[in-house]
Amino acid sequence: MHDNSTTSLSLSLFLFSLSDMADFNPKNLDPAANLEQAGRRVGSTEQSLCLAVPGGTGIAVLAMLFTKDPGNSILQSALHELQKSHPILRSRITRDDKINTFFFSVSPIPLLQIQSFDVSTTSQLLESLTKSDPNNGSISAFQRIIEHELNQNPWSNQSDTDVLFASLYALPDSKWIVALRLHASICDRTSAVFLLKELLGLIRGKEEEGVGEEQGMGKQELNLGIEQLIPSGKANKPFWARGLDLLGYSLNAMRFSNLEFKDVTSPRSSQVIRLQMNPDETHRILTKCKGKGIKLCGAIAAAGLVAAHSSKHLLPDHQFEKYAVITLIDCRKLLDPPLNYRSLGFYHSAILNTHDVKGGEEVWELASRCYGSFRDSFNANKHFSDIDVLNLLMCKAIENPGLTPHLSLRTSIISVFEDPVIDDEPTQLHQGMGMEDYMGCASVHGVGPSIAVFDTIRNGRLDCICVYPSPLHSREQMQELIDTMKRILVSSGD
């Protein structure tokens, strides 16, 4: 149910933030003003991520499971090729304390060195991870390594630090894990998908003596931040209108409901639960979405809201609660000039909507409401006009965690992407390289949602990586919630 401390959260954040609103116009953090050959100043969205990552939100991990050793030297060479083609991958994040902002400082040459773990070292690590969390003994070694990577934070002290790290783990069962860990300011989900494809192409190219040049990789420039590429007029809003938006978001937060918090005092980490469906289940859900004129994100959000509400077993029945949903949009094609999927960086924007749930709702009616609210906000250009307001509120929450319920730093109950990743690569192609599986996601144990859903439709199968903050929420609690979400989606697809 609603926590009275959210009243303090909303009013205090509003009072603290309104005075900063004039200075937080995205144009005030103009990277172009400091653009040099060796790097640039970050934009306001990148700045908010630079502030969030030290606390545990925005550590992006892309992990691949191989049945054949990809080879340290081949992997090292492929990663250096990526760094040569994309300056952002060989950059470091530096902070200027005098003006309280961050910069991308680009090295002229690739310097990445892979950290390798042999079978013995990996086994010791897995044993240590199981001892520290006995409940993870039932999950695969692949998933345990991903969780481990999500909680390695080289950016915790906000000093001069690389944006990309790579590790190669040798597993006891003659398998290997390649893990890339990236700062979210230079890697959103679209960037991660591109990196996966290009890296596999380069590895395959190296094995085939230089075919990597046929992947179409050309030298890329260091692009500006998203705020400097918003089409003219799309983000325009008078100062007082922004202030009213800030007040509206703050007051609305007074009524947000959350999942039950299990442990609000212990140090937090990000954990992962996977929601997978077979091709038939996936096809039926997508067909239902198409028939309702909505996208998959609406169905996932609705299933999450229904599952969260039912987990509370509220009395009396039909008691309303207000939940927040964040939908992330890849804005590349909407920018001026438009960017393509090869443009690495963080070019997603967020739309926050709230929904009243009373229990007993028909999931597709709620899914239509979720998607309809998102589309209305999108058509009103809120993904551009509210970008600085949401960034400012996030930064204020980071600075003042005590203003959030139980210091939870929760911004919503669930976050979803407008569109899933579609992976139709032939299975034989991956198998030929020995790649058995892969996962990509980002940490959320700082400021963020209770459930962050990273969805992929892989050869007709829905595969959702669900990330949550632990022990704020327990693995048993979240496993039950995700199982309920799947049950709701599968049964409603009939």
HEC readout, 234-289:
CCCCCHHHHHHHHHHHHHHHCCECCCCCCCCCCCCEEEEEEEECCHHHHHHHHHHH
The more confident residue out of 103 and 425 is 103
Amino acid letter, 142:
F
State the Cα–Cα distance between residues 201 and 452, nearest whole angstrom. Answer: 29
pLDDT of residue 359: 79
| pLDDT at res. 250 | 61
Positive or negative: CA dihedral 249, 51, 417, 385: positive
Average the pLDDT over 100-104 and give the result: 92
Nearest to 256 by CA among 406, 442, 377: 406
Alpha-carbon distance 494 to 490, whole Å? 7
Handedness of CA 79, 82, 84, 86 (dihedral sign): negative
Cα distance between residue 307 and residue 282, in whole Å: 19
pLDDT at residue 220, as a whole number: 63
pLDDT digits (tens, 9 = 90+) for 149-203: 999 999 998 778 999 999 999 999 999 999 999 999 999 999 999 999 999 999 8
Is the pLDDT confidence value at 413 over 80? yes
416 HSE (CA, 13 A, CB side): 24
pLDDT surpasses 80 at 293: yes
Per the structure, the count of domains in the chain is 1
Domain that holds residue 145: 5-492
Q: Flag the least confident range among 69-73, 310-314, 429-433.
A: 429-433
Long-range pairs, 430-434, Cβ under 8 A, ≥24: 430/200, 433/66, 433/68, 433/70, 433/200, 433/203, 433/204, 433/207, 434/66, 434/67, 434/68, 434/70
Give 278: exposed, middle or buried? Use CB within 10 Å, 0-12, 13-18, 19+. exposed
Percent of the chain, pLDDT > 90? 69
- What is the pLDDT confidence band of residue 207, given thresholds at 50, 70 and 90? low
The model's pTM: 0.90
Residue from 316, 284, 412 nearest 355 by CA:
412
Return the CATH number at 245: 3.30.559.30
Distances (CA, A) of 176 to 137, 172, 252: 19, 9, 47
How many Å is the Cα radius of gyration of the chain?
22
248 pLDDT higher than 90: no
Question: Left, alpha or beta for 388 (phi > 0: left; psi -120 to 50: alpha)?
Answer: alpha
d(CA 328, CA 284): 24
Sign of dihedral through CA atoms 179, 65, 69, 434?
negative
Judged by DSSP in three states, 73 sits in helix
- For residue 162, the tally of other CB atoms under 10 A from its CB is 19
Tokens 């997508």 locate to: 286
The token pair at 244 is 């009213």
User: What one-character DSSP code corresponds to residue 323?
Assistant: E
Cα 411 from Cα 324, distance rounded (Å): 8
What is the pLDDT at residue 317? 63
Mean pLDDT for all residues in the chain = 86
Rounded-to-integer distance, Cα 440 and Cα 443, Å: 10
Q: How far is CA 248 from CA 14, 295, 386, in A?
A: 9, 27, 12
What dihedral angle (degrees, nearest 10) is formed by the CA atoms of 486, 488, 491, 494?
-100
* Complete DSSP assignment for 186-231: G--HHHHHHHHHHHHHHHHHHHTTSGGGGG-------PPPGGGGSP
Nearest to 9 by CA among 426, 407, 403, 448: 403
Nearest Cα neighbor of 169 from 58, 70, 61 is 70
Band the pLDDT of 234: cuts 50, 70, 90.
Answer: confident
